[in-house]
């Protein structure tokens, strides 16, 4: 049976970079955030989000992600409401994806809020990617062209690294790419034995 290895980390930790390193080794990787973005373009999800957040959340009949972010990252209950719409759809999509990868020993499921949603309970092992907060903020500002306060809002809506590390089987400190690559290779050696 194919094992599920969870891969998580706070915003800007570099978990997608790490996911791509696993892909480079031929490991199938499911990137939950990318799939969630695609699912948010489906009519079913658009209707549910519109019902929950109102017509003003739409621009040209599509979900305006910036408007939605400004609402959910300032109010925990609104974020929870959005997660209740998106996460079941992502879970269903992942289960279907997994059926197409049932001949490999393990797959990686990359998800930003793996612990927050309880997704880690469906994983055989969990890898958490960490980096110093200032570096994470810097990376996100560069990547998303956002400001420090909006990055901090998103950080504050996620579990702390310390809390994630306690529940993780492996921890990758992603500061230096060369060292990160070595850590990925070391973890792969262990995973190939499970």
Q: List residues forming the annotated binding site for ATP.
A: 12-17
3-state per-residue secondary structure call for the chain: CCEEEEEEECCCCCHHHHHHHHHHCCCCEEEHHHHHHHHCCCHHHHHHHHHHHCHHHEECCEECHHHHHHHHCCCHHHHHHHHHHHHHHHHHHHHHHHHCCCCCCEEEEECCCCCCCCHHHHCCEEEEEECCHHHHHHHHHHHHCCCHHHHHHHHHCCCCHHHHHHCCCEEEECCCHHHHHHHHHHHHHHHCCC
C-alpha separations of 11 from 84, 112, 129 in Å: 20, 7, 10
Q: List residues forming the annotated binding site.
A: 12-17
């Amino acid at each position: 049976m194919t094992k599920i290895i969870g891969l998580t980390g706070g915003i800007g930790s570099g978990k997608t970079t790490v996911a791509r390193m696993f892909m480079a080794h031929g490991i199938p990787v499911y990137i939950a955030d990318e799939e969630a973005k695609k699912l948010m373009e489906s009519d079913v999800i658009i209707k549910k989000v519109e019902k929950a957040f109102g017509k003003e959340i739409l621009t040209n009949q599509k979900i305006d992600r910036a408007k939605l972010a400004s609402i959910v990252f300032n109010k925990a209950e609104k974020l929870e409401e959005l997660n209740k719409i998106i996460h079941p759809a992502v879970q269903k999509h992942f289960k279907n994806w997994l059926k197409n990868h049932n001949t490999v020993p393990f797959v990686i499921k990359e998800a930003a809020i793996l612990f927050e949603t309880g997704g880690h309970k469906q994983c055989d092992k969990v890898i958490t990617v960490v980096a110093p907060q200032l570096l994470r903020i810097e990376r996100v500002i560069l990547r998303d062209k956002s400001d420090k306060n909006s990055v901090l809002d998103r950080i504050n809506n996620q579990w702390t690294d310390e809390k994630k590390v306690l529940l993780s089987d492996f921890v990758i400190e992603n500061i230096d790419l060369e060292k990160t690559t070595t850590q990925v290779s070391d973890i792969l050696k262990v995973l190939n034995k499970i």
